[in-house]
């Protein structure tokens, strides 16, 4: 039977989820969406995302694809899906795509933003790390420059991760202040498990004066997770955007 492929653009508040990927006995974003689709279609529908997000991490524009047996009314499907899903997961759009489109393999860059608030905040509490230290943005940006390009990021990867290699190509990495927040934006071809949070935690150590730029460089070279700083909390991290090779 010929299947039809569709692309979903998904936004979620990850606070109450054990990350993207389906796991036994855990409430996950993928699990919730697949369950909603199964309720709507009456058969199990699998969805494939551009990348996993860790427990508690948010997404502004996760991309996923799915295959259906029949051509649906996508406008109606969008309303049905959002009607069934908890309102902390929203499908923003559903588009018909070519069968060769693959949400993961066609993605060439992923962008994450990590947010730190130097002031107590109620409105942003689910999406920022509230951290009242004085941070040296210039030093943190020196570290951001060090990680640019191709590096082995084993020092910033969860040790239990099962990937074949730890090489990532960081295309952009920068700290900047905006609307009273301190933001770290990073774009790379791929990210390892816990990588952004380990990078942010270690860069904050640098910004607080606990380590210096040379030590940061040594941590990256060490290839050992124990050499880096503690992981920054998940709540501050959002998957912002997925870039594709061709306009789709």
Burial level of 88, CB count in 10 A (0-12/13-18/19+)? middle
Strand partners, 48: 65
Whether 54 is catalytic = yes
**Closest to a second copy by CB, 153 or 184:** 184
Contact in structure between 241 and 61 (CB atoms under 8 Å): yes
Q: Considering only 9-17, 49-57, 139-147, 201-209, which stretch makes contact with a second copy by CB under 8 A?
A: 9-17
Our finding on whether 91 is near a second copy (CB under 8 A) is yes
Using CB under 8 A as the binding rule, the residues of this chain from 66 to 85 that contact a second copy are: 82
Least CB distance from residue 210 to a second copy, whole Å? 22
Rounded to a whole number of angstroms, the minimum distance from the CB of residue 180 to a second copy is: 10
Which of these is catalytic: 13, 16, 54, 98? Answer: 54
> Least CB distance from residue 24 to a second copy, whole Å?
25
**Beta strands 129-130; 47-49: pairing state:** unpaired
Question: Per the structure block, which two tokens stand in for 73?
Answer: 């009314």
Q: Given candidates 69, 74, 119, 169, which one binds a second copy under the rule CB under 8 A?
A: 119
**112 lies in the binding site for a second copy (CB under 8 A):** no
| Binding residue (CB under 8 A) for a second copy from 6, 7, 8, 13 | 13
- Residue 26 found at the interface with a second copy (CB under 8 A): no
Q: By CB under 8 A, name the one of 50, 89, 135, 203 that touches a second copy.
A: 89
Q: Measuring CA to CA, which residue among 169, 152, 160, 145 is closest to residue 223?
A: 152
Q: CA separation (Å) from 18 to 8, 29, 37, 112, 116?
A: 20, 8, 19, 18, 22
Neighbours of 143 (CB within 10 A): 24
| 122 near a second copy, rule: CB under 8 A | yes
By rule CB under 8 A, what string of x and - marks binding of each residue 45-64 to a second copy? Answer: -------------x-x----
Give dist(CA 194, CA 159) in Å, integer. 10
DSSP 17: S
The whole-angstrom separation of Cα 15 and Cα 215 is 33
**Interface residue with a second copy, options 127, 129, 191, 216 (CB under 8 A):** 127
For 61-79, give the DSSP string: EEEEEEEESS---HHHHHH
**Does residue 241 interact with a second copy by CB under 8 A?**
no
Beta bridge partners of 51: none
Residues labelled catalytic: 54
**Contact residues for a second copy (CB under 8 A)?**
11-13, 58, 60, 82, 87-92, 119-123, 125, 127, 238
């Amino acid at each position: 039977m010929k299947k039809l492929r569709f692309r979903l653009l998904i936004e979620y508040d990850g606070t109450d989820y054990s990350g993207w990927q389906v796991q036994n006995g855990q409430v996950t974003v993928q699990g919730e969406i697949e369950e909603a689709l199964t309720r709507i279609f009456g058969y199990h529908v699998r969805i494939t995302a551009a990348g996993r997000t860790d427990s508690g991490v948010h997404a502004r524009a996760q991309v996923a694809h799915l295959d259906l047996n029949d051509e649906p009314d996508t406008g109606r499907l969008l309303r049905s899906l959002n009607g069934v899903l908890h309102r902390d997961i929203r499908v923003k759009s559903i588009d018909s795509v070519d069968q060769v489109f693959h949400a993961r393999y066609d993605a060439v860059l992923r962008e994450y933003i990590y947010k730190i608030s130097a002031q107590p905040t109620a409105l942003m509490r689910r999406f920022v790390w509230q951290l009242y230290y004085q941070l040296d943005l210039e030093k943190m940006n020196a570290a951001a420059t060090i990680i640019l390009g191709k590096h082995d990021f084993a020092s910033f990867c969860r040790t239990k991760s099962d990937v074949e290699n730890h090489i990532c190509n960081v295309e952009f990495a920068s700290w900047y202040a905006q609307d009273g927040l301190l933001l770290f934006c990073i774009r790379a071809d791929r990210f390892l498990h816990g990588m952004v949070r380990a990078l942010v935690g270690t860069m904050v150590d640098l910004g607080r004066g606990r380590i210096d730029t040379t030590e940061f460089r040594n941590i990256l070279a060490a290839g050992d997770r124990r050499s880096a700083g503690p992981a920054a909390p998940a709540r501050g991290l959002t998957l912002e955007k997925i870039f594709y090779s061709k306009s789709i």
